[in-house]
């Protein structure tokens, strides 16, 4: 039934994925600026503090977490509705791993707010790993989109 809707639900997940990759890049930029605000010289801090990079990083990271989780579940739901099964392969497994990584990274926020350096480093490492996987995920997702498009 949904396979007859070629550009609706079948393509919502890949479009959201590319948008989320861009949002992830933006959140990374804001995180780098937030670190610079925290660790910069007094002159740099005076210039950067009013731009509220830490608050903006937290906001965009929260949006990324929420939409990524919904996108993971939505992609699985559409696949199941279209095919009556999930295809357990690298794209699905990496997507689930990424969703877990970003959830754990977000859960470290209270510890980071208390100045826990290990939590901060784990947060950065998890998110950098997640974004690296996201690049691969976007490419492998386009291969899946191509299969859907040619088999319509």
Q: pLDDT for 39-85, tens place per residue? A: 999 999 999 999 999 999 999 999 999 999 999 998 898 888 888 99
- How confident is residue 9, by pLDDT bands cut at 50, 70 and 90? low
Tell whether 2 is covered by a domain: no
Tell whether 45 is covered by a domain: yes
Tell whether 127 is covered by a domain: yes
Identify the domain containing residue 99 by its residue range. Answer: 7-150
Q: Is residue 8 pLDDT above 80, yes or no?
A: no
Tell whether 56 is covered by a domain: yes
> For residue 115, what are the contacts with CB-CB under 8 A and spacing of at least 6?
none
Tell me what pLDDT residue 29 has: 98
Closest to 144 (Cα-Cα) out of 90, 107, 77:
90
The radius of gyration of the chain from alpha carbons, rounded to an integer in Å, stands at 18
Give the whole-angstrom CA distance, residue 99 versus residue 109.
16
Tell whether 116 is covered by a domain: yes
More confident residue, 126 or 7: 126
Structural domain count of the chain: 1
Share of the chain above pLDDT 90, in %: 72
Tell whether 13 is covered by a domain: yes
Tell whether 37 is covered by a domain: yes
Give the whole-angstrom CA distance, residue 95 versus residue 82.
19
Tell whether 27 is covered by a domain: yes
Please tell me the pTM assigned to this model: 0.86
Tell me what pLDDT residue 43 has: 95
User: How far is residue 55 from each of residues 27, 38, 51, 59, 101, measured CA to CA in Å?
Assistant: 11, 12, 9, 6, 21
- How confident is residue 6, by pLDDT bands cut at 50, 70 and 90? very low
Average pLDDT, the chain: 90
């Amino acid at each position: 039934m949904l396979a007859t809707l070629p550009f609706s639900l079948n393509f919502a997940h890949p479009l959201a994925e590319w948008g989320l990759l861009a949002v992830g890049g933006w959140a990374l930029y804001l995180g780098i600026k937030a670190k610079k605000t925290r660790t910069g010289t007094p002159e740099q801090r005076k210039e950067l503090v009013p731009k509220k990079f830490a608050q903006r990083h937290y906001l965009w990271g929260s949006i990324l977490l929420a939409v990524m989780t919904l996108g993971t579940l939505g992609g699985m739901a559409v696949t199941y509705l279209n095919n009556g099964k999930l295809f357990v392969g690298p794209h699905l497994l990496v997507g689930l791993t990424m969703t877990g990584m970003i959830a754990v990274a977000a859960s470290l926020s209270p510890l980071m707010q208390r100045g826990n350096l290990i939590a901060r480093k784990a947060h950065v490492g998890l998110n950098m790993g997640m974004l690296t996987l996201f690049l691969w995920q976007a490419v492998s997702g386009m291969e899946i989109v191509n299969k859907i498009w040619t088999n319509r």
